[in-house]
Amino acid sequence: MQEVAKAIIFNKHKFLLQLRDDDSAILYPNTWSLFGGEINRGENPWHALQRELEEELEWHPTHGSFLNYWINLDDPCRIHLFAVPYEGSKHYLALHEGQDLAWYTLNEIKLLDFVTPQLVQQLISFEGSGTALHSLANSEF
């Protein structure tokens, strides 16, 4: 089964989302989603996520926290989900994959027309987990 690493990238109470390409050859085209991607053979999920974020945003996070994983039944794969704090300027991110990126609050995300399945559910679980956002910033890999 394919393995994927995805990031809930947050800054205060906003989350960074990627508007996926409008390409019928990919899963969930033209849909708001989390950044991340496939785990290559020999990579662990955290290192794969760091590589993907470097490729997609020119950003190499140094710390984050593993949250959970689930099986995506639309395209059978195991998705490893991490919470990754972003502490830099939002202007330093360079988009290299997808149509757009944007920072949203959870309430704003709930109002978006096109979001990937389970995105809102995962963000609600993250915010409601009782884990303070600032404590995640100190959880290093």
From first to last of its 141 residues, the chain has per-residue pLDDT tens of 899 999 999 998 899 999 999 999 888 899 999 999 999 999 999 999 999 999 999 999 999 999 999 898 888 899 999 999 999 888 899 999 999 999 999 999 999 999 987 889 889 888 876 554 444 444 443
**Residue 120 covered by a domain:** yes
**Residue 51 covered by a domain:** yes
pLDDT at 118: 86
Distances (CA, A) of 119 to 4, 40, 44, 76, 111: 15, 23, 23, 17, 12
pLDDT at 8: 96
**Residue 141 covered by a domain:** no
CA distance 15 to 2: 26
Q: Is 127 exposed, middle or buried (0-12, 13-18, 19+ CB in 10 A)?
A: middle
pLDDT at 5: 98
Per the structure block, which two tokens stand in for 5? 């690493």
Q: CATH no. for residue 24?
A: 3.90.79.10
**Residue 91 covered by a domain:** yes
pLDDT at 136: 46
For residue 19, the enclosing domain spans: 2-136
**Residue 25 covered by a domain:** yes
Contact 92, 15 (CB under 8 A): no
CA distance 141 to 128: 23
Counted residue by residue, the chain has a size of 141
pLDDT at 130: 55
Residue linked to tokens 């389970």: 118
**Residue 13 covered by a domain:** yes
**Residue 54 covered by a domain:** yes
Looking at the structure of the chain, the number of domains it has is 1
